[in-house]
């Protein structure tokens, strides 16, 4: 399609904006679409953007990375898009019988084998510990924090989240905990140092494991924390408790059952598990799983967000775990992502000196804003779920009210 025809097609879509206001500047031309909040102004730097936008969210992200357009508020641009996708979602739903069949055919022989999982994890988590240290706080937690009080630092909110997890499982010095997805050792260090428990944790990222081990040694916790490099499917033993913080998104939709069966197998008959998971709206799960998206192509290869319904269904089908508690912490993710993004922007020069060029930084800025907008618009969410084995006799205390960040 020519750029002129593509522009007409995209402008026709922009005229259907019902939530938010988007100002588009192209040369001397200024056009306003929609009204109200959120508001954003986009500056078109190349007419090639119009053809790129025909590829949907993937094209939006790729054209931003390629500097075909800029915005005064990137998160607001993506939020406006997210809040006006109802018609496109309905069209995708009507086409699902056809697109779903084609997707199943395309992915018939594609599985997240241990070898493929290592490759995909390396593509994201082995980008360099220096970069993540500049983006995250000193806890090195790369998952949603919980802002329980006004003016909390990101590190304080990360520790509040970890305390929440420890409390839900009632961790104590007699517990041996297995963690699937070590990150950089944040949970293991926190749980061992504050609760006195033993933690066996695993990551298939080489760089994560190296830094996590160094941090454990520095904290003097080598006698209480063991870091493995095993795929979750290869773990052996029985543990009192299990923790997995935003790792399930890397499992792949074909292997959710395998994941929960593995968790059930690793737990003692009276054990319990705390899961923190990024989820997608139940109504969007079938539309989204295995679709080509900006995130899957450029950030998390072969990832897939479960929905709450999918989690409940796969838990019921796989092993003998049962859901005993669920807390929605979605409202805290936009602020978490905003803090990460501000850290990246504040350290732009240092990142460039480390070899992370402008294109890479634009990619990560779009990724962080893309996720922030998704949580604001509630197309995606974040939950903490407690799952228990049949002989578990514990209780989950009522959640203390966390600071509301809405608005």
Among the options 197, 263, 369, 371, which is catalytic?
A: 371
Question: How far apart are the C-alpha atoms of 200 and 38, rounded to whole Å?
Answer: 45
Residue 126 has phi, psi (to 5 degrees) of: -100, 25
CB 205 within 8 A of CB 103: no
SS3 160: helix
Instruction: Determine which helix (DSSP H) or strand (DSSP E) holds 63, and give its type and residue range.
Output: helix 56-65
Question: How far apart are the C-alpha atoms of 121 and 129, rounded to whole Å?
Answer: 14
DSSP 8-state assignment for residue 198: E
**What b/e sequence results for 191-217 when a residue is b if at least 16 CB atoms lie within 10 Å of its CB, and e otherwise?**
bbeebebbbbbbbbbebbbbbbbebbe
Is 197 assigned a catalytic role? no
Q: Within a 10 A sphere around the Cβ of 17, how many other Cβ atoms?
A: 18
CA geometry: angle 186, 353, 298, nearest 5 deg: 65
302: left (phi over 0), alpha (psi -120 to 50) or beta: left
Q: Give the total residue count for the chain.
A: 407
180: left (phi over 0), alpha (psi -120 to 50) or beta: beta
CA geometry: angle 201, 207, 211, nearest 5 deg: 65
Strands (E), 5-100: 20-26, 29-35, 39-44, 69-71
Question: How far apart are the C-alpha atoms of 364 and 371, rounded to whole Å?
Answer: 11
CB 350 within 8 A of CB 55: no
Active site residues: 371
């Amino acid at each position: 399609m020519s750029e002129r025809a593509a522009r007409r097609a995209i402008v026709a879509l922009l005229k259907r904006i019902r939530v938010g206001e988007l100002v588009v500047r192209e040369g001397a031309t200024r056009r306003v679409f929609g009204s109200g909040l959120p508001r954003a102004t986009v500056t078109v730097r190349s007419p090639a953007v119009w053809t790129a936008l025909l590829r949907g969210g993937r094209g939006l992200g790729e054209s931003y990375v390629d500097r075909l357009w800029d915005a005064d508020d990137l998160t607001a641009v993506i939020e406006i898009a997210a809040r006006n996708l109802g018609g496109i979602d309905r069209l995708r739903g009507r086409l699902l019988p056809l697109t779903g069949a084609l997707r199943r055919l395309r992915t018939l022989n594609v599985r997240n084998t241990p070898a493929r999982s290592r490759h995909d994890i390396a593509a994201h988590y082995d980008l360099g510990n220096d970069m993540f240290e500049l983006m995250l706080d000193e806890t090195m937690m790369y998952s949603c924090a919980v802002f329980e009080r006004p003016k909390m630092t990101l590190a304080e909110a990360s520790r509040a989240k970890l305390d929440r997890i420890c409390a839900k499982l009632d961790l104590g010095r007699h517990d041996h905990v297995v963690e699937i997805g070590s990150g950089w050792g944040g949970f293991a260090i926190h749980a061992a140092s504050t609760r006195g428990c033993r933690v066996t944790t695993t990551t298939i990222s080489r760089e994560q494991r190296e830094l996590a081990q160094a941090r454990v040694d520095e904290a003097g916790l080598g006698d209480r924390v063991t870091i493995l490099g095993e795929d979750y499917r290869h773990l052996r033993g029985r543990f009192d408790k299990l923790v997995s913080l935003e790792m399930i998104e890397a499992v792949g939709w074909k292997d959710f059952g395998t994941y929960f069966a593995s968790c059930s197998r690793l737990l003692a008959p009276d054990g319990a598990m705390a899961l923190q998971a990024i989820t997608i709206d139940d109504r969007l799960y079938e539309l989204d799983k295995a679709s080509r998206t900006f995130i899957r192509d450029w950030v998390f290869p072969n990832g897939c967000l479960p929905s709450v319904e999918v989690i409940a269904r796969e838990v019921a089908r796989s092993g003998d775990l049962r859901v005993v508690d669920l807390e929605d912490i979605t409202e805290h993710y936009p602020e978490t992502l905003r803090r990460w993004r501000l850290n990246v922007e504040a350290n732009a020069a240092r990142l460039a000196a480390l070899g992370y060029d402008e294109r890479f930084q634009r990619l990560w800025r779009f990724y962080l804003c893309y996720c922030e907008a998704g949580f604001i618009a509630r197309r995606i969410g974040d939950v903490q779920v407690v799952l228990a084995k049949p002989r578990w006799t514990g209780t989950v205390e009522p959640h203390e009210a966390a600071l509301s960040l809405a608005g």
